[in-house]
Amino acid sequence: MYASDPYYSYVELLLPMFGSFGDLSKNRHQITPSGSAEVTTAQSKYYGSSGYFNHSDGCFLIGPAAFDLGAADFCIEFWLRIPSLPAANDWQEIISKRYNFSVRHGFTVVLDQLTGIPFLTWTSDGSTVKTFFMGGAAFPTNTWKHVAFTRSGGTLRRFIDGVLSWTDTTQIGTSAIYHTTSEVLSIGRILLNGYLQDLRVTKGVPRYTENFTPPRRLIETMPWGFAAVDANATLGSISGTITNRLGAGCQRKVYAVSRSDQIAALSVIIAHTLSDPATGAYELIVPSGEEVTRVVVSRDFDDSPLLNDLVDRVIQT
């Protein structure tokens, strides 16, 4: 069975990095590229493109100043591909909210010099920096790796490709991570050299507390646009029955498509499932507050994005 993200309502930032740097979280944050930060088709984990940062000064993304992790559980995760290991004193940032390491420093996910291993730094007062793991075996080059940092209560964890690689239960406790609106959220701010895909920040739940299978992709896409139609903005689920042309229940893929703004002319699927093969019954769990335009039923049963000629019928909500 296919299901929507049960934690979508907790997602603070969602950057698939295909077509553009658009944020597909409920917040629809304005993300502004700086310098030569770009979406490229040269490399991708999914979607045929990814975000590329070329190790030059000023090549990064600018996000919201209001972004705040606070004292909540969280998960910061992304797919990363680097072409080479950093040199000595080459600290490359993935995501951060700070002025520098000792002034107005909230948090930073950064690659260790020499080894390229991602680690986390943060402060609770803006200046007293604490570090969650530095060093270790070198990060693989020229291959995509899933990285996740999670906070669950007073425990910090780091996972690489879904495997727990470090745990800390002594440093963060119940402290809130420092926040100031004087600094914006940044992605790739300090000389990142590599590619990013599916950067997601979840606040309020840790998502992962033990080994897991990395998410296949964070969103499904359809390569065509839909005109918006009215829908129940607080809809929690959509259910119904799919029948074939003889009126018998059948199994089909069923999709709920977001009414929200389209990124690069792609409509975003926020929930999908398979109808029951015997009865045709289905239920889509849609995050509360997310508006849905249509439910799409497809003939194909593989996991590739939908194509126009594979659409069997469209059901408006």
DSSP labels, 93-125: EEEEE-SSSSSS--EEEEEPTTT--EEEEE-SS
Chain centroid offset of residue 56 CA: 24
CA geometry: angle 116, 118, 121, nearest 5 deg: 125
Listed residue (29, 71, 21) closest to 47, CA to CA: 21
The CATH classification of domain 31-203, taken from the options 2.60.120.200, 3.40.50.1370, 2.60.40.10, 2.40.50.100 = 2.60.120.200
Listed residue (36, 6, 11) closest to 21, CA to CA: 36
Residue 167 phi, psi dihedral angles, 5° rounding: -135, 140
Domain with CATH 2.60.120.200 in the chain: 31-203
What string of pLDDT tens digits covers the 317 residues of the chain? 223 577 888 999 999 898 788 888 878 888 999 988 999 999 999 888 899 999 987 788 999 999 999 999 999 999 999 999 999 999 999 999 998 878 999 999 999 999 999 999 999 999 998 987 766 789 999 999 999 999 999 999 999 999 999 999 988 988 999 999 999 999 998 889 999 999 999 999 999 999 999 988 876 543 333 222 223 333 466 778 877 777 788 777 777 766 554 443 445 666 667 788 888 888 776 655 556 555 555 554 443 333 333 344 444 44
